[in-house]
Amino acid sequence: MSGKSSSCPIYLEAWLMTSQPHPFVSLLNPIKGQKLFSRLQRHLQPQQAITLLTLLTATYPQLDVVARAPPPPVADASILSKVERKERAKRETETDNFLLYVLPGLDRIITEQCGLGLINGLFGICFQRMEVWRVASTRVSYLHIAMNRTLMCSPVLRSSLPYYRKLS
């Protein structure tokens, strides 16, 4: 296989509908896959990292930590049954692992390799493929990373925010 990339268009919809959940998501759901992701993403070429980010964005709602995100904490844990507390603790552990192993890699890819146009495209995928309110309400939403990158890339947006005006 030559080092040149193919000019054939990728049919994203057909590629994403191979199975439910997508095989890439099935790899990221267990802790071993998350640890693999954190090691693997450092060795990817920029185009491969962006492809990985795009795939993850399109399949984000299928991740266990998003689809089965723990509900907001209750003020009094004694009202939960023992089974509910155990299930909540398990989901919290899964979420913490995702935050520890996967999110820093996404942050690195977004901050180092994504410009404003690519961020705009990622938001377009988000708005087309997921219920944004549901994903944004989880602890694993990387939308805030993308929003922060948008602010850093856009001097117009940055100058309109009082926080950034104080730093200048």
- Helix/strand/coil (H, E, C) string of 141-156? CCHHHHHHHHHHHCHH
The predicted model scores a pTM of 0.71
pLDDT at 19: 65
The mean per-residue pLDDT over the stretch 119-142 comes to 79
pLDDT bin (cut points 50, 70, 90) of residue 22 is: confident
Instruction: Give the lowest-confidence range in 32-46, 48-62, 74-88, 140-154.
Output: 140-154
76: which 2 tokens?
């009094």
pLDDT at 15: 54
pLDDT at 2: 43
Residue 26 has pLDDT above 70, yes or no: yes
Higher-pLDDT residue of 148, 52: 52
pLDDT bin (cut points 50, 70, 90) of residue 4 is: very low
Burial 109-135 (b: 16+ CB within 10 A, else e): bbeeebeeebbeebbebbeebbeeeeb
